[in-house]
Amino acid sequence: MSVLRSIATGIGIVGITIIILGLCIGLVRFAICEINSLRPNRKDTESLDCIRDDIGRHLLFGLDFLVATDLIMTVIEPTLQELAILGGLVVIRLTVGYFRYREMPR
C-alpha cells in the first residue's frame, strides 16, 4: 500500500506542477502582451483569449492528474473524506471543462 501511496503522491506533484507552470507561463505571456500594447508602433499582440485558453488547458490537464491521485487514494483508504475530496475535484474538473468548451471560438 505504501507503494501506491508514493505513486499517488508523485502523480499529485505532477498535476500541481502542471497547473503552476501553466499559470506562470500565462502570466509571463500576459505581461509581454501588455508591455507590447504600450509601444507606439506595436505589432499585433497575442490575444488574451489565446492566453486564457492556454491557461485553461493547463488547468484541466493538471486537474486530471489530481483526480487520478484522489482516485488511487480512495482505493487505498475508502473513507468518506476521500470520497468527498474526489467528488469535489471531479465537479471542479467538469465545471472548468464545461465553461472552457462554451467559451471556445467556433
Q: Any idea what DSSP says for residue 90?
A: H
State the DSSP H helix or E strand holding residue 65, giving kind and residue range, or none if neither. helix 48-76
Question: Percentage of the chain with pLDDT > 70?
Answer: 92
The per-residue pLDDT for range 51-72, each reduced to its tens digit, is 888 898 899 899 889 888 988 8
Q: Which domain does 75 fall in, by range?
A: 2-103
Q: How would residue 35 be classed by pLDDT, with cut points 50, 70 and 90?
A: confident
The per-residue pLDDT for range 16-30, each reduced to its tens digit, is 999 999 999 999 999
Are residues 32 and 51 in contact, defined by beta-carbon separation less than 8 angstroms?
A: no
CA distance linking residue 55 with residue 37, whole number of Å: 20
Number of domains in the chain: 1
Type of residue at 46: E
Task: Quote the pTM value.
Answer: 0.79
